[in-house]
Amino acid sequence: MNVPGVADGRREFHVMTKPTGAICNLDCSYCFFLSKEELYPGSSFRMSDEVQETYVRQLLEAHPDDAEVVVAFQGGEPTLMGLDFFRRAVELGRRHARPGQRVLHTVQTNATLIDDEWAAFLAAEEFLVGVSIDGPPAMHDAYRVDKGGKPTYERVVRGLHALQRHGVDWNALTTINAANGDHGREVYAFLRDELSATHVQLIPIVERVTDEVLPLVGSGWGARGGAVVAHRQEGDHVTDRSVGPEQYGRFLIDVFEEWARHDVGEVFVPVFDTALAHWLGLHQVGSCVHAETCGDALALEHTGDLYSCDHFVEPAHLLGNIAEGRTLLQLVESPQQRAFGDAKRDTLTDYCRRCDVRFACHGGCPKDRFTTTPDGEPGLHYLCAGYQLFFRHIDEPMQVMASLLRAGRDATGLRSWYATRDARREPTERCTCGGGAPFGDCHGRGGTVGA
Ligand code: SF4
Ligand code: SF4
């Protein structure tokens, strides 16, 4: 989740709007949101015109006169609302924006419903489109299936090609899971080379389950039924679709070693940008997951119910309804929401407080803090071992990039730094990624993968 800009005096926040609630035309096995359908029994799962207008109006009112205001749609699958809903959203933005405010629309989609008509509209209105895709066909189709369990890769790419034909600004949202977790560089290079992605957002899949559910959860476990049981934020086990802690760290390192040599300044990977912000000592960083506090990325359901976060759309984290009494801004600034965001910092374990990479990690997202520290304190992030691996690994190159930027130079200088060091390396030496393969067969292979 990237939180844009800084508001003047007001707290900057970002709302992910779910006009179809949890309803989706696909049935991805790991999707944590499908089970949220249970929250609204009997609902039509379609945002009404009234709620849509209240949301856009209140969102614009809550931002300063000169702000760029992001109107963001997510799901479920938001394109199920149909094009007219999005045409109206654009109109409402024009109607309610104050002079000086700029409205940027974004939509996160599985792209399977995108055709030329959609793509022409998204291009004309300058939407930023996030496309969910998990890598090459076999890896993508491992979990991203439709209601009949059928693979979706071909349909996703057909939609993506429509976006590309019309010149829509898009980015890849790629989950890291058990099926692609050992193939970081391959996944990244595929997105870059085969799909021409220039923005790659990487999201780890961590599906918590309780002791009772664990025996039911095997590979290939029924997608929909599984989702309903598994996707509550409780339990201290994970499904076997989840990425492993070290596996996650190795994945990021594998991608980083490729990116740092060839793509700095060309391809944007938010987890790397956020890390660089920390190495530069900036307070405002891109991703809430590695920010000191959070609470500025909220979720709006189709009914107008506002929740503390997309990952906490559950009754305990309902702030209120924007059409009933308090406004969006009042709910965002409520003590309940401030407490939610501050808890990220205030509930850190002692182990985290003493950690050498805490400045870059900040303990990760609270939703996944369900393991215990080596000295037995509960509340450690499940991916901690991977975070330590990754942040320690990138320390030196991050310092190089931060020094370049402080000196007024371009961060792309990191590529030369790698090239100079690589020139002294023997192809038979162990690769710098730490994966164990010879350098010449691994990251020393010149930016080609799978040859
Ligand atoms: S790397 Fe682990 S110990 Fe360090 S701050 Fe992150 S979660 Fe805490
Ligand atoms: S709970 Fe997690 S995902 Fe939600 S805002 Fe906080 S860090 Fe971000």
Give tens-digit pLDDT for 161-177: 999 999 999 999 999 99
Question: Which H or E run includes 299?
Answer: strand 297-300
* Closest-approaching ligand to the CA atom of 374: 1
Mark out the alpha helices in 201-293 (DSSP H runs): 223-230, 245-262, 270-279
Quick check: 222 pLDDT over 60?
no
Question: Which of 134-143, 281-290, 389-398 is predicted with the least confidence, judged by mean pLDDT?
Answer: 281-290
Cα separation values, 249 from 1, 191, 365, 386, 409, Å: 19, 19, 15, 4, 29
* Closest-approaching ligand to the CA atom of 344: 2
pLDDT of residue 451: 37
The residue whose C-alpha atom lies closest to atom 4 belonging to ligand 2 is 309
pLDDT tens digits, 300-339: 999 999 999 999 999 999 999 999 989 999 999 999 999 9
* pLDDT: which is higher, 147 or 343: 343
Cβ(129) to ligand 2 under 6 A?
Answer: no
pLDDT of residue 52: 97
Percent of the chain with pLDDT over 90: 80
Quick check: 223 pLDDT over 60?
no
Confidence band, pLDDT 50/70/90 cuts, at residue 4:
very low
Residue 134 designated active-site: no
Quick check: 30 pLDDT over 90?
no
Cβ(130) to ligand 1 under 6 A?
Answer: no
Give the atom of ligand 2 at the shortest distance from the alpha carbon of 364: 7
Quick check: 221 pLDDT over 60?
no
Confidence band, pLDDT 50/70/90 cuts, at residue 220:
very low
pLDDT of residue 170: 98
Cβ(367) to ligand 2 under 6 A?
Answer: yes
The residue whose C-alpha atom lies closest to atom 8 belonging to ligand 1 is 352
Quick check: 247 pLDDT over 90?
yes
Considering the candidates 141, 305, 310, 368, report the single residue annotated as catalytic.
Answer: 310
Cβ(364) to ligand 1 under 6 A?
Answer: yes
> What is the residue-wise DSSP string for 128-180?
EEEEE--SSHHHHHHH-BBTTS-B-HHHHHHHHHHHHHTT-EEEEEEEE-TTT
Question: Which of 9-18, 20-29, 271-280, 387-396 is predicted with the least confidence, judged by mean pLDDT?
Answer: 9-18
The residue whose C-alpha atom lies closest to atom 6 belonging to ligand 1 is 363
Cα 310 to averaged position of ligand 1 atoms, centre (Å): 23
Cα 153 to averaged position of ligand 2 atoms, centre (Å): 29
pLDDT of residue 3: 35
State the number of CA atoms in the 13 A half-sphere of 303 facing the CB: 17
Give the atom of ligand 1 at the shortest distance from the alpha carbon of 373: 3
Cβ(143) to ligand 1 under 6 A?
Answer: no
pLDDT tens digits, 264-301: 999 999 999 999 999 999 987 788 999 999 999 999 99
Cα 340 to averaged position of ligand 2 atoms, centre (Å): 9
Cα 288 to averaged position of ligand 2 atoms, centre (Å): 6
Percent of the chain with pLDDT over 70: 90
Q: Which residues pair with 209 in a beta bridge?
A: 237
pLDDT tens digits, 180-215: 999 999 999 999 999 999 999 999 999 888 766 555
